[in-house]
């Protein structure tokens, strides 16, 4: 799994594509197919290994941002014009706020139009939480700024130094301020957090909530139980219920071509130590 993720990243970098998005979708694909082709012990080992690597990487991210915050070389170029640095940082922060709002609120509005059940719609308070929580910038922004405005980590141009220091300011301000106020904002706008957890455990909840897009239920024999989505009858159904319609066609293609070749829940052979084999032995 590690080598496949690294291979996808290297291929993306070779063709000048986004390595981060490539690894992200590689993880989605591996969780849908590869995860069901390994033994239970391999799953436990992989889970703990990736959790440990994630914790170490997160530690290095904050260490990297903290070291860049005190990089004297970059701040020396902007020491003669602190007003310019503050102005650029304010403009960047305002653009981040506006850009995030331009994505969250219109897309939430379009999502609510396609949902008939009011309980499935994203409320305005929830949209505010999504907008606010996504404003925190991190080491990715720092890496992009250094890749664009430096050469081997150094710069001797004042404009480039201003862009780097402004990026550092936005990262630190958004991480500290927005991160610190996220939990109080959730308590203020969503005063009943237990209700959200009950929605996913309720058996009478809508199928779009209880059934994920790529995963279905599984009975005691290990056979796949596909939710009763219903076949779309016209283009109108594609507009009114796009999630159910796309799910229907994807399930047909996945069951007919992808799962028989790459494996997956309900299609994998008996793997020693796997939950599928144990359930069959019990029968």
Report if residue 44 sits inside a domain. Answer: no
The verdict on 159 and 265 lying in the same domain is no
Whether the Cβ atoms of residue 223 and residue 215 lie closer than 8 Å to each other:
no
Structure tokens at 247: 């799910």
Cα(168)–Cα(175) distance, integer angstroms: 11
Mean pLDDT of 206-220: 40
Give me the pLDDT at residue 119, please: 84
The verdict on 217 and 138 lying in the same domain is no
Give me the pLDDT at residue 104, please: 92
Percent of the chain residues past pLDDT 90, beyond the cut: 15
Of 1, 40, 34, the C-alpha closest to 271 is 40
Q: Write down the pTM of the prediction.
A: 0.59
The structural domain count of the chain equals 2
Residue with the bigger pLDDT between 120 and 127: it is: 127
Whether the Cβ atoms of residue 170 and residue 140 lie closer than 8 Å to each other:
no
Three-state secondary-structure class, residue 245: helix
Contacts of 275-278 with CB under 8 Å at 24 or more apart are 275/40, 275/222, 276/222
The overall average pLDDT reported for the chain is 76
Of 195, 164, 135, the C-alpha closest to 73 is 164
Of 39, 32, 34, 35, the C-alpha closest to 271 is 39
The verdict on 133 and 172 lying in the same domain is yes
* Residue 224 parent element (H or E): strand 224-225
Contacts of 31-34 with CB under 8 Å at 24 or more apart are 32/214, 32/215, 32/264, 33/258, 33/259, 33/262, 33/263, 33/264, 34/1, 34/4, 34/262, 34/263
Which among 141, 160, 191 is the end of a domain?
191
Report if residue 12 sits inside a domain. Answer: no
Largest CA distance in the chain: 78
Least confidently predicted of 67-81, 164-178, 215-229: 215-229
Q: Find tokens 């860049």 and name the residue.
A: 68
Report if residue 144 sits inside a domain. Answer: yes
Whether the Cβ atoms of residue 248 and residue 229 lie closer than 8 Å to each other:
yes
Which among 158, 191, 224 is the end of a domain?
191
The verdict on 164 and 266 lying in the same domain is no
Bridge partners (DSSP) listed for residue 218 = 224
Cα(267)–Cα(264) distance, integer angstroms: 5
pLDDT at position 84 over 70: yes
Residue with the bigger pLDDT between 140 and 28: it is: 28
The verdict on 178 and 223 lying in the same domain is no
Query: Cβ of 39: how many Cβ atoms within 10 Å?
Result: 14
Report if residue 263 sits inside a domain. Answer: yes
Give me the pLDDT at residue 222, please: 41
Residue with the bigger pLDDT between 278 and 128: it is: 128
Which among 138, 167, 191 is the end of a domain?
191
Most confident option among 79-88, 107-116, 206-215, 228-237: 107-116
Report if residue 22 sits inside a domain. Answer: no
pLDDT at position 194 over 70: no
The verdict on 163 and 235 lying in the same domain is no
Mean pLDDT of 106-130: 88
pLDDT at position 87 over 80: yes
The verdict on 260 and 159 lying in the same domain is no
pLDDT at position 62 over 70: yes
The verdict on 119 and 221 lying in the same domain is no
Report if residue 111 sits inside a domain. Answer: yes
The verdict on 177 and 233 lying in the same domain is no
- Expressed as residue numbers, the domain containing 227 is 207-282
The verdict on 186 and 250 lying in the same domain is no
Mean pLDDT of 163-170: 85
Report if residue 236 sits inside a domain. Answer: yes
The verdict on 167 and 239 lying in the same domain is no
Report if residue 15 sits inside a domain. Answer: no
Mean pLDDT of 25-49: 87
The verdict on 148 and 211 lying in the same domain is no
User: CB neighbours of 64 closer than 8 A, spacing ≥ 6?
Assistant: 139, 142
153 pLDDT tier (thresholds 50, 70, 90): low
């Amino acid at each position: 799994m590690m080598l496949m993720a690294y291979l996808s990243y290297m291929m993306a970098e070779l063709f000048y594509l986004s390595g981060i998005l490539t690894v992200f979708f590689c993880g989605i694909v591996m969780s849908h197919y590869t995860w069901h082709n390994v033994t239970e012990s391999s799953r436990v080992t992989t889970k703990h290994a990736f959790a440990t690597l994630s914790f170490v990487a997160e530690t290095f991210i904050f260490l990297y941002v903290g070291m860049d915050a005190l990089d004297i070389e970059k701040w020396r170029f902007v020491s003669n014009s602190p007003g310019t640095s503050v102005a650029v940082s304010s403009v960047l922060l305002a653009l981040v706020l506006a850009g995030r709002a331009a994505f969250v609120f219109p897309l939430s509005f379009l999502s609510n139009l396609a949902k008939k059940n009011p309980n499935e719609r994203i409320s305005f308070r929830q949209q505010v939480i999504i907008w606010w929580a996504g404003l925190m910038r991190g080491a990715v922004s720092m890496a992009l700024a250094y890749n664009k405005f430096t050469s081997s980590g150094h710069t001797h141009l004042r404009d480039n130094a201003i862009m780097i220091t402004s990026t550092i300011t936005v990262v630190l301000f958004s991480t500290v301020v927005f991160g610190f106020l996220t939990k109080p904002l959730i308590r203020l706008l969503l005063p009943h957090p237990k209700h959200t957890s009950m929605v996913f455990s309720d058996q009478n909840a809508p199928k779009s909530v209880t059934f994920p897009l790529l995963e279905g239920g599984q009975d005691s024999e290990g056979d796949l139980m596909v939710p009763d989505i219903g076949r779309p009858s016209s283009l109108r159904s594609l507009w009114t219920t796009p999630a159910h319609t796309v799910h229907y066609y994807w399930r047909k293609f996945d069951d007919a071509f992808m799962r028989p070749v790459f494996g997956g829940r309900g299609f994998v052979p008996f793997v020693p130590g796997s939950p599928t084999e144990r359930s069959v032995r019990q029968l």
